[in-house]
Amino acid sequence: MVNSPISERIGNRKQKELFELIRQGGTVSKIELLEESGLTVSTLTRLLDELCAQGLIAESGHGPSTGGRRPVLYRIQADYGCAFGVDISRTLSRLVLTDMQMKVLESRTWEMKEGLTPDVLLASIADEAEAMLQHRGFSPGHVLGMGVGAVGPVNREEGIILNPRYFPTPGWHGVPVRKMLEERLGLPVLLDNGANTALLAESWSRQKRSFRHMLYVHLGVGLRSSMLSEGKLIYGAVDMEGSIGQMIIQTDGVAPRLQEGNYGALESYASIYAVEREMRARLKQGRSSVLSALGSPDALTFREIIQALHSRDPLAVEVITQAAVYFGIGLANLLNMLHPEKVVLGGPLISTNDLFFYTATQTAIKKTYYYPDYQVLFSKGSFGEEALAIGAAGLVIRQLSAI
């Protein structure tokens, strides 16, 4: 039996709007809430008292005085409840338990090897989720639900992972993730593309400046992207995860990894697959590298290439730099079309080294048409590789203010 809908925990529309203002602001003064909400003082006071009584928000001291009485500050009550977030990706999958302010309380990862079929992984996730609650002493009623950010394409409405490409584990086609987890846990479960959940997490991170237009790109076995405009995630007619990787950057370029792909596509130059392919080819050509001592080039892994990069192996530096330049060209195309204020880059190609990030972003800047009139901020993000799972928990938390 699945718990009642999360959106019913706050029954009043004005309460929901006020809760959302506080959630977005982190710590907000009553004066700021009065200005932003358009409510009268008496109505605002009543709604704040009601939300405090429900344990959803709490007073958080006083702000600086502007000449009169110091204003009362409000924040989301971190221990009102908790939420699970799940990241199902091609290399690693992750489960986190967060509080209401998306602070990670517990975390567990799984390396996606052949044995982790949907039945095995989802059963492990459910068992681990129950163990986390037991460890924390939380009752099932304390949990709002579970969000899942997965390799796409996905059907968000039905909660199904459709037909992900390049998945190392068999069986991940047409998987009813939401149904399987709800039946096991008895909790509401929400599903979205992992790139969207990562961007959601980054857009909610507490910063001095609020960004309304953001782009997120995840660079791993394939390429994944999402876009936020006017503070809202942009959804197309269908979820076509990975389509950014099919952006053509060289018409007569490298053959596609799959038959239906494009020649000269971005993912053929800037992905884990592309880096491994290029390094193997150069070793077979007789190029000198510390990696030559490891045996057959065909058995070479991305992890070993990164280790060589950290040892400043010239060939590893060359291959990673080349991949970063190609990605920077693709990124410049996105900047010239979308003009985001901020770009967040994540995934193994970003988290394992600094060279790729800085080379790619500098290349993109040089090829951005309106630079320097158009300025963009590049970031590795605030949550690192946990962003996808933390944002998935955020899917659940934001349902409190859903109308």
| Sign of the CA dihedral with 167 first, then 172, 176, and 182 last | negative
**Residue 13, number of CB atoms within 10 A of its CB:** 10
Residues 308 and 337 in one domain: yes
Is 1 within the bounds of a domain?
A: no
Is 391 within the bounds of a domain?
A: yes
Q: What is the pLDDT of residue 1?
A: 43
Q: What is the pLDDT of residue 209?
A: 53
Residues 247 and 367 in one domain: yes
Residues 129 and 268 in one domain: no
Per-residue HEC secondary structure of 206-260 comes to CCCCCCCCEEEEEECCCEEEEEEECCEECCCCCCCCCHHHHCECCCCCCCCCCCC
Mean per-residue pLDDT pooled into runs of 10, the chain (403 residues): 71 89 85 87 91 90 72 89 94 95 94 90 96 93 94 91 84 94 94 92 69 90 89 76 85 86 92 95 94 90 95 96 96 93 93 94 92 88 90 93 79
Is 187 within the bounds of a domain?
A: yes
Residues 341 and 368 in one domain: yes
Burial class, 66, CB count within 10 angstroms (exposed 0-12 / middle 13-18 / buried 19+): exposed
The number of domains in the chain is 3
The pTM of the full predicted model, rounded to 2 decimals, is 0.87
Residues 56 and 152 in one domain: no
Report how far residue 389's alpha carbon sits from residue 78's, in angstroms, rounded to the nearest whole number. 18
Residues 182 and 102 in one domain: yes
CB contact at 8 A, 171 and 364: no
Looking at 56, 76, 96, which one is the last position of a domain?
A: 76
Residues 229 and 370 in one domain: yes
Is 53 within the bounds of a domain?
A: yes
Residues 286 and 340 in one domain: yes
Residues 221 and 300 in one domain: yes
Residues 186 and 329 in one domain: no
DSSP at 70:
P
Q: What is the pLDDT of residue 183?
A: 94
Is 141 within the bounds of a domain?
A: yes
3 state DSSP class of 142: helix
CATH code of the domain in which 31 resides: 1.10.10.10
Residues 341 and 238 in one domain: yes
CATH code of the domain in which 260 resides: 3.30.420.40
Report how far residue 352's alpha carbon sits from residue 333's, in angstroms, rounded to the nearest whole number. 25
Domain hosting 240: range is: 208-381
Residues 341 and 194 in one domain: no
